[in-house]
Structure 1
Amino acid sequence: MPEQTITLAGRGSRLGAVLIDSVILIPILIGIAMVTGFWDYFITRAANGIPLSLNENLIAFLVGQSLFLLLNGIFLANHGQTIGKRIMKVKIVDMDGKQVGFLKLYSLRYLAFSFISQIPVAGGLLSIINVLFIFGKPRRCLHDLLTGTQVVVHG
């Protein structure tokens, strides 16, 4: 049986996948916030310089993560892809090109970095550093290094 060649996904494909995922997720989250009244509440507080409480941030975080899993959980578990990655024909694999277990994939690659990004200043800085790692030779973000994954061309 011939050995399968692994081709790393390009930076443009990865960016495209993230943008597609965001274009799908953000309007739905805004819609949920508007229907529940959270949008007006948030805008009013922001206009008056009042930050959300820890509990309010936690609820918003959990709603966002739940929606992310609702939209992408099956694709991640079965194919190592989000909707955006599927459209861009790339997928997440381990360093041997094999599928990564869902719990490891979600908890380390998505949940941990999403949670850390919520920390004022430090979270934003880490998010920038995470993304800048893609400009290194192996084209792997910090979350790829932590998880032991790479994003490759698929199909």
Structure 2
Amino acid sequence: METNPYAAPGAVVDDAYVYNGAELEVLKASRWQRLGAAIIDGLAVGICVMPLSFYVLQGWASRNPALTQSHAAMPNFVSGPVAAVSGVIVLGLIIINCVLLHRNGQTIGKRALSIKVVRKDGSRVPLTRFIFLRFLPVELFRFIPFVGGIIGLVDTLMIFGSERRCMHDLIADTIVIED
């Protein structure tokens, strides 16, 4: 018996489970879980960036005569290679978070606290939606003096609303649920 090489595959594939609205409401992550995940993510980035930041500050302080005359000179305790390794680690952290977001809708902090980001209908969020709708709009506004601080504060405080969704969740049409 010959098989047709141009025939459609015959594998049986189950559809991905999609939550209904009531299930998602029950599964929503608590404000404390979201805060904890944000703290873990912030600490991870902060620790990785710290040597690189000190290196940049050392260079700036050594080239600013007003600072070196009025204050004790900043000690040079972070070398160029250490700063370079710090930069590579930060890049690695970004890549790890992007892979986790793409696969599971989680960052390192969200994974640690067993929560994840899904679309409002319960489906998976594509990485492009994370970057261009959930992250970039709010982050770009934060660079605007005065207005950026207000938008960042409003984005954060919206978690205390009845829907427990931040501004970036509303823009990207996402919610954070327990995994």
TM-score grouping bracket, smaller chain normalisation: 0.7 to 0.9
Equivalent-residue separation in structure 1 for 2:100 and 2:160 (angstroms): 27
Question: 70-79 or 143-152, which moves further after superposition?
Answer: 70-79
Matched, 1:24 2:44: yes
Unaligned runs of 5+ in 2: 1-14, 68-86
1:144 pairs with 2:169:
yes
Task: Return the offset for 1:117.
Answer: 1.1
Please tell me whether the aligned partners of residues 18 and 121 of structure 2 are also in contact (alpha carbons under 8 angstroms).
no
Q: Structure 1: which 5+ runs fail to align?
A: 49-62
Cα distance in 2, alignment partners of residues 107 and 66 from structure 1: 19
Larger relative contact order (CA 8 Å, sep ≥ 6): 1
What is the root-mean-square deviation of aligned Cα atoms in Å?
A: 2.5
TM-score by length of 1: 0.77
Q: Which residue number corresponds to residue 58 of structure 2?
A: 40
Runs of 4+ in 1 over 4 A off after TM superposition: 1-4, 42-45, 65-68
TM-score, scaled relative to structure 2: 0.68
2:77 maps to which residue? none
Residues 28 and 145 from structure 1, CA distance in 2 versus in 1: closer, same or farther, beyond 3 angstroms?
Answer: same
Instruction: Report the AA paired with residue 75 of structure 1.
Output: L
Q: How many residue pairs get matched? A: 136
Q: Structure 1 residues 69 and 96, CA, compared in 2 at 3 Å: closer, same or farther?
A: same
